[in-house]
């Protein structure tokens, strides 16, 4: 089952501030990723994979349940 970015962040116990810092983006940018308003570029996606210890194939970027 694919998880949203928000679910992955919550599962790690990270606040948006902490996750944004680890990924290297602003809180506002992370919030837009989590809401599906914008999508990360490839280098940022690689950081997201590292921070959340998952593959992009396991992330639901469209926020569809």
- Mapping DSSP onto H, E and C, the string for 6-64 reads HHHHHHHCCCHHHHHHHHCCCHHHHHHHHHCCCCCCHHHHHHHHHHHCCCHHHEECCCC
Domain membership of residue 33 (yes or no) is yes
pLDDT at 20: 98
Question: Cα dihedral sign for 55, 11, 20, 33?
Answer: positive
pLDDT exceeds 60 at position 13:
yes
Domain membership of residue 29 (yes or no) is yes
Domain membership of residue 64 (yes or no) is no
pTM > 0.85: yes
CATH number, domain of 39, equals 1.10.260.40
Domain range for 26 is: 3-58
For the segment 17-44, what is each residue's pLDDT rounded down to a tens digit? Answer: 999 999 999 999 999 999 999 999 999 9
Q: How many domains does the chain have?
A: 1
Domain membership of residue 63 (yes or no) is no
Domain membership of residue 7 (yes or no) is yes
């Amino acid at each position: 089952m694919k998880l949203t970015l928000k679910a992955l962040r919550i599962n790690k116990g990270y606040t948006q501030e902490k996750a944004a810092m680890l990924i290297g983006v602003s809180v506002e940018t992370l919030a837009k990723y989590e809401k599906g308003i914008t999508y990360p570029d490839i280098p940022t996606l690689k950081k997201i994979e590292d921070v959340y210890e998952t593959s992009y194939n396991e992330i639901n970027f469209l926020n569809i349940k």
